[in-house]
């Protein structure tokens, strides 16, 4: 199954009628791997548009891929990782590997005419409960947060809700009382039993995290995500060990070793992201690592089509699902291009059952949304 071509491009969301340079919609960074008349699609981490990862693929990875056998995929990627390790390993280079890995799994599934979850060993379930992940609550007042949560509850009927703070990176302990007021208001809105999560987006010191965490315990929140800076693994572990509420982290971990460091620090729920953490292969390795340590494996996921579908294939094969799958804001933006992109269906997302990722593509729309990278 000889790889004949590797393409990299952006798919620009937003108003397709506007010229690409005037379209301010977000973009997805895509790699397309061709072999035997088939095309596998993968997606890189969207940080800064994913452009840097695509550049590394085009310049440093594609020449080694073209001519190789797609079925040698683990060997090819491990060889390339060790060749390029000083470009990373965390960040741009690992986001690039994630994209290629997803594309190669998509390609293999198409070659064998099987969904990826079948190649991974089969699905425990193909309907996966999801939680609505609601961002930008740092910038809203209490009423605004309640309205945002109400709107998603009404529109999507999620199995759980996560409120994210987002906000300015590096701004620590800015409005602890205000954050607590928002957490209380959301609990009042949804009632005592509805599953809730609180994502601090790394905005607390250890002391503030303990204080907020105690309130979240009283309010019955299910988990407390990234209370402190992600690069302070020991601090994350300290908060996790001092609180009763489950503390989670790992969306900013790009290697298995980084995830291992979080677990060693005391974090007991990890959230690797398929478009950062080695793609399907990397996420399966994380699942095994979590299983070995008795730690919850609950992937992070923000992307509307390729990343979401790839994540669901992995979750389908995971026996010990303890939390719903993430469905972030803006999930519907890809629907005119990836026409069966997973969407809310009675509290669940349905894993596509076609070959590979199983995504059905409107090729004409994809061509209109496609933006070539120059340089
Ligand atoms: Ca998060």
For residue 21, pLDDT over 70 is answered with no
H-helix or E-strand containing 129?
strand 127-134
For residue 189, pLDDT over 80 is answered with yes
For residue 301, report the distance from its CA to the centre of ligand 1, in Å: 9
Distance between CA 151 and CA 190 in Å, rounded?
12
For residue 303, report the distance from its CA to the centre of ligand 1, in Å: 13
Band the pLDDT of 237: cuts 50, 70, 90.
very high
Please state, in angstroms and as integers, the Cα–Cα distance from residue 75 to each residue in 41, 79, 87, following that order.
Answer: 19, 6, 19
Listed residues: CB within 5 A of ion ligand 1: 199
Q: Residue 276 in contact with residue 289, Cβ under 8 Å? A: no
For residue 12, report the distance from its CA to the centre of ligand 1, in Å: 23
Residue with the two structure tokens 């496609």? 370
For residue 257, report the distance from its CA to the centre of ligand 1, in Å: 20
For residue 271, report the distance from its CA to the centre of ligand 1, in Å: 8
For residue 20, report the distance from its CA to the centre of ligand 1, in Å: 29
For residue 347, report the distance from its CA to the centre of ligand 1, in Å: 21
Residue with the two structure tokens 């290697």? 255
For residue 136, report the distance from its CA to the centre of ligand 1, in Å: 11
For residue 125, report the distance from its CA to the centre of ligand 1, in Å: 25
For residue 232, report the distance from its CA to the centre of ligand 1, in Å: 15
Task: Give CA torsion, residues 248, 254, 257, 263, to 10 deg.
Answer: 0
pTM: 0.97
Band the pLDDT of 135: cuts 50, 70, 90.
very high
What value does the mean pLDDT of the chain take? 95
Tell me the pLDDT tens digit for each residue of 254-311: 999 999 999 999 999 999 999 999 999 999 999 999 999 999 999 999 999 999 999 9
For residue 363, report the distance from its CA to the centre of ligand 1, in Å: 32
H-helix or E-strand containing 283?
helix 279-293
Report pLDDT for 89.
Answer: 86
For residue 170, report the distance from its CA to the centre of ligand 1, in Å: 15
For residue 375, pLDDT over 80 is answered with no
Strands 246-249 vs 223-225: parallel, antiparallel or unpaired: parallel
> Domain extents for the chain?
3-113+361-372, 118-350
- Length of the chain, in residues: 375
Judge whether 3-113+361-372 and 118-350 match in fold.
no
For residue 67, report the distance from its CA to the centre of ligand 1, in Å: 39
Residue with the two structure tokens 């080695």? 278
For residue 164, report the distance from its CA to the centre of ligand 1, in Å: 7
For residue 65, report the distance from its CA to the centre of ligand 1, in Å: 33
For residue 4, report the distance from its CA to the centre of ligand 1, in Å: 37
CATH fold label, 3-113+361-372: Enolase-like; domain 1 (3.30.390)
For residue 114, report the distance from its CA to the centre of ligand 1, in Å: 32
Q: Tell me: domain 118-350, CATH 3.20.20.120, correct?
A: yes
Rounded (to 5) percent helix, strand, coil in the chain: 45, 20, 35
For residue 285, report the distance from its CA to the centre of ligand 1, in Å: 21
For residue 195, pLDDT over 90 is answered with yes
For residue 299, report the distance from its CA to the centre of ligand 1, in Å: 10
For residue 92, report the distance from its CA to the centre of ligand 1, in Å: 19
For residue 324, report the distance from its CA to the centre of ligand 1, in Å: 14
Band the pLDDT of 170: cuts 50, 70, 90.
confident
Tell me the pLDDT tens digit for each residue of 26-69: 899 999 999 999 999 999 999 888 999 999 999 999 999 999 99
* Residue 251: CB atoms within 10 Å: 22
For residue 302, report the distance from its CA to the centre of ligand 1, in Å: 9
Q: How far apart are the first and last CA of the chain?
A: 30
């Amino acid at each position: 199954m000889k790889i004949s071509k590797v393409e990299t491009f952006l798919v620009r969301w937003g108003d397709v009628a506007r010229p690409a340079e005037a379209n301010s919609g977000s973009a997805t960074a895509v790699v397309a791997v061709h072999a035997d008349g088939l095309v596998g699609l993968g997606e890189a981490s969207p940080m800064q548009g994913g452009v840097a990862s695509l550049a590394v693929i085009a310049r440093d990875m594609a020449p080694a891929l073209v001519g190789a056998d797609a079925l040698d995929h683990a060997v090819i990627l491990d060889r390339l990782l060790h060749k390029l390790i000083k470009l990373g390993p965390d960040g741009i280079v690992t986001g690039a590997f994630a994209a290629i890995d997803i594309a190669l799994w998509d390609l293999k599934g198409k070659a064998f005419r099987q969904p990826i979850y079948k190649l991974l060993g089969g699905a425990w379930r193909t309907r996966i409960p999801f939680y609505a992940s609601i961002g930008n609550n740092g910038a809203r007042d209490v009423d605004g947060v309640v309205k945002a949560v109400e709107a998603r509850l009404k529109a999507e009927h999620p199995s759980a809700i996560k409120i994210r703070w987002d906000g300015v990176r590096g701004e620590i302990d800015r409005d602890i009382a205000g954050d607590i007021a928002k957490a209380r208001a959301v609990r009042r809105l949804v009632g005592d039993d509805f599953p809730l999560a609180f994502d601090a987006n790394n905005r607390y010191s250890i002391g503030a995290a303990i204080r907020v965490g105690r309130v979240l315990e009283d309010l019955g929140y299910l988990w407390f995500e990234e209370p402190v800076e992600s690069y302070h693994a020991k601090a994350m572990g300290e908060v996790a060990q001092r609180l009763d509420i489950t503390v989670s982290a790992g969306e900013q971990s790009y290697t298995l070793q980084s995830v291992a460091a979080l677990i060693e620090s005391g974090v007991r729920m990890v959230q690797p992201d398929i478009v950062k953490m080695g793609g399907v292969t990397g996420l399966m390795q994380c699942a095994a690592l979590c299983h070995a340590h008795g730690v919850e494996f609950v992937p992070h996921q923000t992307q509307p089509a390729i990343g979401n579908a790839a994540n669901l294939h992995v979750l389908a094969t995971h026996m010990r699902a303890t939390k719903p799958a993430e469905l972030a804001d803006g999930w519907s933006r890809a629907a005119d291009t990836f026409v069966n992109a997973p969407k809310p269906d009675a509290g669940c997302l349905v894993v596509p059952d076609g070959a590979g990722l199983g995504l059905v593509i409107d090729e004409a729309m994809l061509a209109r949304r496609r933006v070539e990278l120059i340089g």
